[in-house]
């Protein structure tokens, strides 16, 4: 393509740029040339990251070339290098006419984003450009350390102190190689992300953490999470030099919150108590050591314990300081739940009561660091040092002053008054007291007898951190994101000038987006999430009917965002009780965002699976604004065809921090500082809701060929102010309707047209991590990232790492089980779902022999270079495993082979009805959970719990029949409930299963016997006669002499499932099977021979037909 020249600078852009991309790069270059700050908004899918990298690196190269040209001109003694080009034209824009410019003045580029996963995506984008700068990525020891001993530590600050101890004694072999390897061209000139850096460290036996710090010195562009820049402690720890640097904050919609949180803290009674406890134990230990022998008065503990250079008197003083601080905080009587609020400068008055001042801060900080380091590296019982580390961090934060002031000997709080005006001190009761208690002695504290106070020191101006960056002498600060609207509030909060602003349009066409404000539901009830209306039954009913109707017309994936978790929980509870949830479930199975992180991945995978299921109408995902799904998850293409915003997510109005923030803004607005503009507290409150809405809206329409619908379901969106706060690319398409039916008609027509014009994205196999990636039709867009690896990249796909939630869109394939090797499976086991992600394939163990065979075939295909080999998803395997065990149960039990730990001998034992019950139940529940949506699974579990408590079979049958009889594929799940049914109900349940599904559960009279009745029969000897009679009337296939093939197979299956590492290839599997075969008990094979006549006679009698064998 022809060279792209913007503002006199040639930009090597890999594609023909759109106009909005040219505008974006022009603004970036304008910021860099004029040494000014900029706020740039460009929607996701417009190629923002590629534009940002190319424009910045092109300008930097131009700046470098300008210096070179000037140096050459100086050496030529005034002679013109190019007679037709005046020397004055060389680089005036880049170097601003500076006469003394050196190569050391070339600005470093600091590229910061919220998480390392986002930085990994940016680095992959950089690999796809022609630019090859020297790159460094900074991370924590937790991410980069490869020393096994340090990695074993659970707490991050303990890792830090252990690492420092090893460095000081040069006992870390990886660190000792850093100096030698830091000049290795392969490391210096390669573009490495965190994962690549760790791989290189393991390969070359060099510490990735200190290697990255070494590479930082010569890097042209440095990548880091933006808390490394905004947190003054992290900035000092990583020795980040800012003078003359260009700082880029990508995904900057979170910068405002991060600025405030990085300079705030909450000190709880538990923090102080744990710190006192740790110091007290150290003091007792040192006193005991000192008492063991003759020690002089001025003895140093270093002689007894290397690494701790504190005497007992100093340790005792530290303990007393902590006790005084605890007493000072608890001395304030807090009225009710409101708390006490003081100005920011009050923090110094409070700390002075504990003898913590500008004069003593350095000595106390160093003592706390020494104690923490000593206890962290101490072998034996784990010592909780989190409180000590938190106090050390607080001292750094509170007494953080400019080096110039510190050099003047600033000793009194007045020097800090300009800073503390943006802070408030808040003291309130500790509501978590009942959860955390420590055993402390009388000297320690009286806090264990009463509820303590929490000391909060809150920053209310993001400008505090931004102004600190400006004071460090940065050249330019660029804030960019897909969602920064409303821009006016964003820039005013930062408290630094932003002469350059841009709100870019999207690259989509009119027929790719549908936006509607729905102020009334289908029943004409006004929709509102206001505090006094959100839980009114009529409002929740109308909202439920709205979601049901939209579920019918929106294809594939539907996202529903609520203002908060309490609102979502209560609304869903109402919908479940009144039938709305069932109606949604029948159209699009429901998946609900959990509060914690533990099950989030599992639930989002379930949603993706349902959307990809060709038999279903898609899925619905219910989440909250500002939650995990709204912040960084990519719902491109079919995963997010529609998004419903159920209300305006205002911050909690009665939260003390929100109240104080609004009061602070109102106070600053009244002062009317010249040249500084503040929002009012009410405007800030409104715009926080708007920004959260905009972030949720940004989950859909992720690239040029994507399309989707946005529904704003609250009458307050109709106001001019609310509409004005929407993103600029959304505002032109907003429609309002007087009639709900007309809106449904139009959105149905919109999707019919869109599906004809833009067919679903093609699923194409690629290489490496891009196998099965969705191929985008447009290479310009951010979502259409070429697939990259350390060797190169493939232009046919885009990089998506399955382990990263922030960018995770799974590539799935599905096919019938009978296509997987010709099996004629049915029911739940008829579907194989392939997860085409390298990480998942490497991590997952085979759960059975069949799975291991397929896994081994897959690995063998990879070894032969045959990409695209498929393996069954765990769902299929669990289904087969459960079906098999259910058949065993119905046939009358089986034998269990138990393998001892050394795997040298095998012990066989008969299973009793009670043995293995938990295992079978666990498998059944796992299969059921995979087969049902999250909501329906919870319904089933609730029904089982109710049956357990009330013994009401009719209610359980009604719930189970409603869920499992509609689809023949789920009939086996209904029959699987047989194992949970109490003996006196088993016969009735069996009859009901025959009536509902046509098949019974294998009921026998003995199943109706309770445990007590069986024991009585056993004592009387009748049970033996009963079992013998039953055995003679019906031959049981579970006996090894009648079905000898079955148990060797079971034994091999057990062996494969029990190994820690799956077979890597067919040879490994063969070796494992041969070893396991030799361990099968000999009487199994004797049974095979002895039963041969009976089996042959049965086959002959059946004339080739099926037999019981």
What one-character-per-residue DSSP string does 246-280 give?
A: EEEESSGGGHHHHHHHHT-EEE-HHHHHHHHHHHH
Q: What's the DSSP call for residue 415?
A: G
531 to each of 68, 524, 535, 715, how far by Cα in Å? 64, 20, 8, 14
CB 976 within 8 A of CB 1002: no
645 to each of 558, 560, 575, how far by Cα in Å? 11, 6, 17
If you compute the radius of gyration of the chain from its CA atoms, what whole number of angstroms results? 34
SS3 116: helix
Those residues whose C-beta lies under 8 Å from the C-beta of residue 705, and which sit 6 or more positions away, are: 758, 761, 776, 777, 778
- Asked if residue 163 belongs to a known ligand binding site, the reply is yes
Torsion on CA atoms 311, 312, 314, 317, rounded to nearest 10: 180
- Residue carrying structure tokens 């390897």: 181
Q: Is the dihedral of CA 812, 815, 820, 824 positive or negative?
A: positive
CA angle, 772 as apex, 771 and 773 as ends, to 5°? 95
SS3 674: coil
The Cα–Cα gap between 936 and 308 comes to: 59
Look at strands 9-11 and 4-6 and give their pairing: antiparallel
Q: Is the bond leading into 486 cis (omega within 30 degrees of zero)? A: yes
SS3 489: helix
Max distance between CA atoms of the chain, in angstroms, equals: 119
Distance of alpha carbon 648 from the chain centroid: 25
The Cα–Cα gap between 736 and 495 comes to: 37
The Cα–Cα gap between 605 and 615 comes to: 17
Those residues whose C-beta lies under 8 Å from the C-beta of residue 960, and which sit 6 or more positions away, are: 940, 943, 974, 977
Compute φ and ψ for 669, nearest 5 degrees. -65, -40
Look at strands 831-835 and 812-816 and give their pairing: antiparallel
Q: Angle between the 917-931 and 874-890 helix axes, to the nearest 10 degrees?
A: 140
Q: What's the DSSP call for residue 776?
A: P
- Asked if residue 145 belongs to a known ligand binding site, the reply is yes
- Which has the closest alpha carbon to 563: 356, 404, 411, 712? 712
- Asked if residue 207 belongs to a known ligand binding site, the reply is yes
- Which has the closest alpha carbon to 800: 788, 818, 815, 813? 788
CB 688 within 8 A of CB 650: yes
- Asked if residue 400 belongs to a known ligand binding site, the reply is no
CB 463 within 8 A of CB 494: yes
Q: What's the DSSP call for residue 902?
A: T
The Cα–Cα gap between 1093 and 1072 comes to: 32
CB 1026 within 8 A of CB 1006: yes
Beta-ladder partners of 623: 561
The tokens for 704 are 């040029």
The CB density around residue 1096, as the number of other CB atoms within 10 Å, is 11
Look at strands 590-592 and 619-624 and give their pairing: parallel
The tokens for 578 are 């009144």
Distance of alpha carbon 881 from the chain centroid: 31
- Which has the closest alpha carbon to 592: 962, 709, 584? 584
Over 1018-1044, what HEC string results?
HHHCHHHHHHHHHHHHCCCCCCCCCCC
Residues flagged as binding site = 145, 163, 172, 207
Q: Which residues are annotated as a binding site for [4Fe-4S] cluster?
A: 145, 163, 172, 207
């Amino acid at each position: 393509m022809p060279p792209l020249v913007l503002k006199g600078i040639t930009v090597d852009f890999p594609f023909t740029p759109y106009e909005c991309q040219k505008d974006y790069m022009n603004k970036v270059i304008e910021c860099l040339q004029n040494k000014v700050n900029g706020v740039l908004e460009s929607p996701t899918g417009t190629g923002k990251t590629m534009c940002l990298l190319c424009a910045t690196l092109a300008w930097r190269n131009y700046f470098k070339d300008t210096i070179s040209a000037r140096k050459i001109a100086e050496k030529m003694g005034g002679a013109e290098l190019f007679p037709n080009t005046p020397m004055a034209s060389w680089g005036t824009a880049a170097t601003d006419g500076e006469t003394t410019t050196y190569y050391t003045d070339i600005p470093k580029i600091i590229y910061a984003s919220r998480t390392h996963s986002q930085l990994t995506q940016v680095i992959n984008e950089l690999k796809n450009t022609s630019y090859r700068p020297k790159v460094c990525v900074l991370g924590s020891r937790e991410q980069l350390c490869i020393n096994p001993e340090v990695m074993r530590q659970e707490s991050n600050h303990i890792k830090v102190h252990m690492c420092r101890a090893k460095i000081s004694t040069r006992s870390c072999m990886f660190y000792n190689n850093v100096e030698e390897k830091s000049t290795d061209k392969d490391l210096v000139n390669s573009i490495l992300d965190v994962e690549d850096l760790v791989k290189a460290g393991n390969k070359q036996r060099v510490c990735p953490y200190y290697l990255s710090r070494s590479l930082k010195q010569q890097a042209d562009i440095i990548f880091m999470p933006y808390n490394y820049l905004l947190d003054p402690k992290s900035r000092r720890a990583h020795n980040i030099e800012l003078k003359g640097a260009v700082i880029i904050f990508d995904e900057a919609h979170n910068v405002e919150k991060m600025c405030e949180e990085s300079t705030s803290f909450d000190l709880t009674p538990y923090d102080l108590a744990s710190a006192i406890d740790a110091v007290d134990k150290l003091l007792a230990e040192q006193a005991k050591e000192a008492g063991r022998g003759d020690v002089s008065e001025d003895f140093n503990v270093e002689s007894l314990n290397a690494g701790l250079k504190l005497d007992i008197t100093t340790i005792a003083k530290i303990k007393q300081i902590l006790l005084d601080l605890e007493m000072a905080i608890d001395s304030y009587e807090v009225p009710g739940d409101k708390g006490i609020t003081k100005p920011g400068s009050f923090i110094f008055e409070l700390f002075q009561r504990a003898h913590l001042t500008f004069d003593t801060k350095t000595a106390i900080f160093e003592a706390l660091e020494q104690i923490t380091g000593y206890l962290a590296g101490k072998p034996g019982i784990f010592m909780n040092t989190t409180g000590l580390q938190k106090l050390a961090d607080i001292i750094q934060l509170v007494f953080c002053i400019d080096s110039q002031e510190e050099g003047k000997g600033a000793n009194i709080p007045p020097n800090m008054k300009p800073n503390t005006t943006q802070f408030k001190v808040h003291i309130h009761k500790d509501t978590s007291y009942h959860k955390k208690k420590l055993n402390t002695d009388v000297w320690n504290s009286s806090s264990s007898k009463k509820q303590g106070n929490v000391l909060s020191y809150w920053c209310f101006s993001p400008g505090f951190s931004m102004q600190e960056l400006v004071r460090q002498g940065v050249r330019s600060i660029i804030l960019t994101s897909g969602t920064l609207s409303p821009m006016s509030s964003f820039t005013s909060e930062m408290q630094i000038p932003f002469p350059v602003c841009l709100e870019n349009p999207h690259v989509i066409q009119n027929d790719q987006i549908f936006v509607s404000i729905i102020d009334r539901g289908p029943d004409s009830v006004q929709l509102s999430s206001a505090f006094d209306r959100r839980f009114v039954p009529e409002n929740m009913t109308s909202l439920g009917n709205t979601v049901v109707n939209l579920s019918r017309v929106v294809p594939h994936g539907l996202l529903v965002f609520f203002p908060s978790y309490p609102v979502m929980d209560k609304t869903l509870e109402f919908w479940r009780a009144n039938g709305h949830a069932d109606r949604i479930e029948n159209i699009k199975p429901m998946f609900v965002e959990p509060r914690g992180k533990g099950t989030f991945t599992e639930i989002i995978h379930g949603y993706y699976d349902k959307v990809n299921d060709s038999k279903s109408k898609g899925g619905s995902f219910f989440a909250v604004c500002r939650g995990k799904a709204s912040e960084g998850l990519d719902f491109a293409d079919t995963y997010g065809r529609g998004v419903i915003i159920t209300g305006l997510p205002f911050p909690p109005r009665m939260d003390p921090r929100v109240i104080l923030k609004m009061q602070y803004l109102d106070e600053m607005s009244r002062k009317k500082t010249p040249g500084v503009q503040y929002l009012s507290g009410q405007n800030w409150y409104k715009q926080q809701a708007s920004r959260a809405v905009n972030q949720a809206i940004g989950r859909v329409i992720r690239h040029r060929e994507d399309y989707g619908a946005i529904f704003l379901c609250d009458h307050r969106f109709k106001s001019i102010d609310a509409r004005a706060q929407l993103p600029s690319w959304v505002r032109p398409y907003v429609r309002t309707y007087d009639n709900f039916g007309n809106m449904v008609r139009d959105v149905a027509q919109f999707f019919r047209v869109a599906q004809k014009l833009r067919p679903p994205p093609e699923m194409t196999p690629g290489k490496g991590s891009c196998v099965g990636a969705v191929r985008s039709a447009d290479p310009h867009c951010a979502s259409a990232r070429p697939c990259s690896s350390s060797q190169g990249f493939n232009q046919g796909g885009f990089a998506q790492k399955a382990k990263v939630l922030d960018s995770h869109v799974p590539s799935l394939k599905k096919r019938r089980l009978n296509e997987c090797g010709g099996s004629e499976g049915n029911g739940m086991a008829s579907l194989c779902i392939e997860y085409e992600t390298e990480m998942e394939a490497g991590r997952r163990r085979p759960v059975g022999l069949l799975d291991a065979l397929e896994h081994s075939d897959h690995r063998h295909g990879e070894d032969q270079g045959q990409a695209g080999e498929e393996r069954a998803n765990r769902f299929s395997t669990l289904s087969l495993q459960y079906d098999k065990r259910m058949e065993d149960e119905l046939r009358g039990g089986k034998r269990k082979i138990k393998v001892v730990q050394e795997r040298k001998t095998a012990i066989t034992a008969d299973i009793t009805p009670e043995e293995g019950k938990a295992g079978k139940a666990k498998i059944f529940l796992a299969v059921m959970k995979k087969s049902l949506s999250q909501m329906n699974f919870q319904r089933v579990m609730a029904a089982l719990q109710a049956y357990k408590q009330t013994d009401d079979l009719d209610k359980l049958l009604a719930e189970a029949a409603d869920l499992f009889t509609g689809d023949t594929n789920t009939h086996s799940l209904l029959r699987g409930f047989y194992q949970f049914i109490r003996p006196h109900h088993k016969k009735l349940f069996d009859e009901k299963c025959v009536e509902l599904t046509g098949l019974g559960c294998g009921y026998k009279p003995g199943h109706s016997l309770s445990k007590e009745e069986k024991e009585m029969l056993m004592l009387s000897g009748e049970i033996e006669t009963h079992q013998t009679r039953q055995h003679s009337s019906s031959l049981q296939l579970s006996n090894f002499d009648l079905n000898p093939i079955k148990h060797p197979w079971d034994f091999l299956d057990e062996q494969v499932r029990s190994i820690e590492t799956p077979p890597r290839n067919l040879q490994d599997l063969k070796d494992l099977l041969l070893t396991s075969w030799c361990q099968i008990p000999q009487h199994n094979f004797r049974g095979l021979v002895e039963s041969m006549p009976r089996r042959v006679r049965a086959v002959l009698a059946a004339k080739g037909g099926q037999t019981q064998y």
